[in-house]
Amino acid sequence: MKKVLFVCLGNICRSPMAEFIMKDEISKRNCKANFVVASAGTSDEEEGNPVYPPAREELARHGISCAGKRAKKFTYSDYAEYDYILCMENSHVRDLRRVTGGDPDGKIFRLLDFSSAPHDIADPWYTRNFSLTYAEIEEGVRAFLDSLSKEI
């Protein structure tokens, strides 16, 4: 069993998209029972809010529901709870390294560092390009799962 937490700033756009894209991908790969998947934000600004409508609509275009998801802030106890903490940007990695005393267990990564073209996933709050966000997250999730299957 692997526990995976996706992290962005607000937990209303990128990390919930990653949470539900990952759930869809593990369902397609018939390995849902091997994972616990969730998401959180580095900020408490959006705490309790549902997924931002354009992000929800982009997921729905791919047949994915994120019903019931509410934003939550990353807490120190999440660090012990999860095996992989996958951030959307280097700034989130830096924030979480501060909160966790420098990531002593080596659990914090940037999602696209698992791909062949490592980079930050741009914030769609500003780019407004939710289909690009979806494509980049999907690429990262697939690369992450492929890297785990090579490990086994």
For residues 15 and 115, which CB has a smaller minimum distance to ligand 4NP in the complex?
A: 15
Question: Of the residues 44, 113, 120, 123, which is catalytic?
Answer: 123
| Angle, CA of 26, 32 and 34, to the nearest 5° | 110
Nearest distance, CB of residue 105 and ligand 4NP, angstroms:
24
Look up residue 68 and give its two tokens: 């019931």
| Binding footprint of ligand 4NP on the chain (CB under 6 A) | 8-14, 45-46, 123, 125
For residues 12 and 26, which CB has a smaller minimum distance to ligand 4NP in the complex?
A: 12
For residues 45 and 83, which CB has a smaller minimum distance to ligand 4NP in the complex?
A: 45
Residue 14 is a catalytic residue: yes
Q: Mapping DSSP to helix (H, G, I), strand (E, B) and coil, where does residue 105 land?
A: coil
Taking the C-alpha atoms of residue 103 and residue 96, their distance in angstroms, rounded to an integer, is: 8
Question: Of the residues 13, 14, 78, 95, which is catalytic?
Answer: 14
Q: Is the dihedral of CA 18, 31, 147, 139 positive or negative?
A: negative
The β-bridge relationship of strands 35-41 and 2-8 is parallel
Nearest distance, CB of residue 52 and ligand 4NP, angstroms:
7
Q: Mapping DSSP to helix (H, G, I), strand (E, B) and coil, where does residue 38 land?
A: strand
CA 151 from centre of chain? 21
Question: Of the residues 8, 13, 66, 87, which is catalytic?
Answer: 8
Nearest distance, CB of residue 151 and ligand 4NP, angstroms:
28
Residue positions annotated with a catalytic role? 8, 14, 123
